[in-house]
Amino acid sequence: MPPARLLSLDDVEALHWGANLLGSGGGGPRLGALLVSTALTNGAAARLVTVDALSGGWVLPVAVVGSSASVGAEKLPAGDEWRRAVQVAERHLGATVDAIAVPLIGGATTLYPFLAATQTGKPVVDADLSGRACSRLDQTVVGAELRGTWVFADAHGTAVILHGADARLAERVIRGAVAGLGGWAAVACPPLRAETFRTQALTGSVSQAITLGGRYLAGIAARDDGKALAARLGGHHLGQGTVLEVRRFAGPTFARGSVGIRATDQRRVLRVEMQNEFAMVMCDGEVVATAPDVICLLDVHSRQVIQTGQVRRGHEVDVFVLPVPDRLWQPDVLDRVAPRAYGLETHPVRKGAPSP
């Protein structure tokens, strides 16, 4: 792509669906896409730049943290939380941030850095720090590098500052604080030197998510069945069937659950384990796919992406898996995103080549 690209309304729509797929069941509402689209319609601009355009300075990852996937729709933002979070972060850094970053390329948080961009005039870097949706702030590829000053802002003008914390501590503190802030908060993560970001981030992931969403929309328009859509998206179709049971229970930190699916051929049973995201698929008791690969459930009839909180008994679903960047399968990152990070005592299984 060229060094800079202005995001269009079509790009926002495609990015929403690409991020929804990469959410692995943790997509969340489309509120972020609506806010960014409204800002663009009203004359604001969101620029996407390559990592090579970063000559130096600071890159600020911007996100949203909520107590549940739906809380952002239940309690609407004031709209300026991300601008305030950026401003407070700059004030405590003592320097101007040169670009905004997307920490997670999957789920609802993907669009909010672009809202910050429309409000601050700063570009968004075409890269991210996770390659997919993740439940926790400490599941990024930068690991210990994400340490410093964290800012989280609510809809009522409050900004909370956490100094000197690494991502693991910040995760615990912010999750505890959001309950008192109305259930969610805009988050400015510790800024990273452009040189560090350039060498460690997963480059090109935003434009790849836009392409993924565009292919998904094209597949819907072409009335692809589950196998054809999985192939169009570069994934591997695992099966189609009817949800027989959904069990939900409390985990140590997040809600967990298990989905039983009887395959359409009546010869197989699929089971999908979840914790915020779909994290493992078994077929007749054998593990066939796990995180960090992206596991997707789609409604057979509408082709809509089904989130973990939406799956119900009687749902007719297609199950497929999308690959993630090789970086997530390397040992120093894998421990943070493998099944055990989701409370599942099994070894990670990487799915093979896409379906023919």
Most confident segment among 26-40, 173-187, 199-213, 249-263: 199-213
Return the DSSP state at 182. Answer: T
pLDDT band at 63, cuts 50/70/90? very high
Give the relative orientation of helices 9-22 and 31-41 as an angle to the nearest 10 degrees. Answer: 170
- In a domain, residue 237? The reply is yes
In the predicted structure, residue 1 carries a pLDDT above the cut 60 = no
| Percent of all residues in the chain with a pLDDT value above 90, rounded to a whole number | 83
| 277 in a structural domain | yes
Closest C-alpha among 102, 192, 176, 110 to residue 144: 192
Q: Give the tens place of pLDDT for each residue, 251-284.
A: 877 889 999 999 998 889 999 999 999 999 999 9
Place of tokens 């609506």: 34
Question: In this structure, are 330 and 194 located in the same domain?
Answer: no
Residues 127 and 62 in one domain: yes
Residue 350 lies in a domain: no
What CATH number corresponds to the domain at position 169?
A: 3.40.1610.10
Are 74 and 196 in a shared domain? Answer: yes
- The residue type at 314: G
Residue 215 lies in a domain: no
Q: Give the model confidence (pLDDT) of 212-254 as tens digits.
A: 999 999 999 999 999 999 999 999 999 999 999 999 998 877 8
Of 139, 174, 205, the position where a domain reaches its end is 205
Residues 152 and 80 in one domain: yes
Mean pLDDT score of the chain, rounded to an integer? 93
Are 176 and 299 in the same domain?
Answer: no
Q: Is 12 part of a structural domain of the chain?
A: yes
Residues 164, 284 within the same domain: no
CATH code at position 235: 2.40.390.10
Answer yes or no: is pLDDT of 74 > 80.
no
Mean pLDDT of the region 5-24: 97
Look at residue 240 in the predicted model and tell me its pLDDT: 98
Do 192 and 275 lie in one domain? The reply is: no
Residue 46 confidence (pLDDT) above 80: yes
| Cis before 252? omega within 30 | no
Task: Tell me, yes or no, whether 328 and 252 share the same domain.
Answer: yes
Task: Give pLDDT, residue 176.
Answer: 86
User: pLDDT-based confidence at 145, cuts 50/70/90?
Assistant: confident
Examine the fold and report which residue of 157, 174, 205 is the final residue of a domain before the chain moves on. Answer: 205
Residue 356 lies in a domain: no
> Does residue 254 sit within a domain?
yes
Give the span between the Cα atoms of 323 and 288, in whole angstroms: 13
Closest by CA position to 293, among listed 320, 323, 271: 323
> Looking at per-residue confidence, does 61 or 355 come out higher?
61
The verdict on 18 and 163 lying in the same domain is: yes
Q: Give the chain's domain count.
A: 2
Task: Give strand pairing partners of 240.
Answer: 318
Same domain, 30 and 158: yes
Over range 32-48, report the average pLDDT. 97
The confidence band for 353, taking pLDDT boundaries of 50, 70 and 90, is very low
Task: Name the residue range of residue 10's domain.
Answer: 4-205
pTM of the model: 0.95
Taking 60 as the threshold, does the pLDDT of residue 356 lie above it? no
Q: Is the pLDDT of residue 354 over 60?
A: no
In this structure, the number of other CB atoms found within 10 A of the CB of residue 49 comes to: 21
CB contact at 8 A, 271 and 258: yes
Residues 199 and 235 reside in one and the same domain: no
pLDDT value of position 355 = 35
Among 282, 280, 305, smallest CA distance to 292 is for 280
- In the predicted model, is pLDDT for residue 322 greater than 80? yes
- For 118-144, the pLDDT digits (tens) are 999 999 999 999 999 998 999 999 987
Kindly state the tokens that stand for 34: 């609506």
Q: Assess whether 239 and 188 both reside in one domain.
A: no
Position 77 in a domain: yes
